[in-house]
């Protein structure tokens, strides 16, 4: 089993190179984790490592989504209508 950080870094690098999307890497990691767990048992160290890789890739996807997240519809609305009741901020 490959080192977790190496596998995750390879998936991130390939995502940056646009040769493989992070989503595809997650699906492949899930398939590999299932296969690993079927072969070595669900309580084995290899199975745990395989699912750790899946978790790391999913965390990277969530991090990228959060970093590129734009304004919510409420934030856009409040930019246009700062006097609206929904947009008022009260100091306590």
Domain layout of the chain by residue ranges: 4-87
pLDDT of residue 11: 61
Give the pLDDT band of residue 7 (cuts 50, 70, 90): low
pLDDT given for residue 71 in this prediction = 79
Q: What are the pLDDT digits (tens) for 16-57? A: 544 468 899 999 999 999 999 999 888 999 999 999 999 999
Q: How far apart are CA 11 and CA 60, in angstroms?
A: 10
Q: What is the DSSP letter of 19?
A: S
DSSP conformation class of 87: G
Per-residue pLDDT at 65: 79
Record the pTM.
0.57
For residues 56-75, give the mean pLDDT.
84
């Amino acid at each position: 089993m490959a080192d977790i950080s190496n596998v995750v870094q390879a998936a991130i690098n390939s995502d940056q190179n646009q040769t493989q999307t992070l989503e595809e890497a997650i699906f492949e990691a899930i398939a590999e984790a299932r296969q690993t767990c079927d072969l070595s048992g669900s309580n084995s160290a290899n199975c745990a490592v395989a699912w750790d890789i899946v978790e790391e890739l999913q965390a990277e996807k969530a991090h990228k989504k959060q970093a590129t997240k734009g304004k919510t519809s409420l934030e856009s609305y409040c930019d246009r209508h700062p006097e609206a009741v929904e947009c008022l901020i009260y100091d306590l």
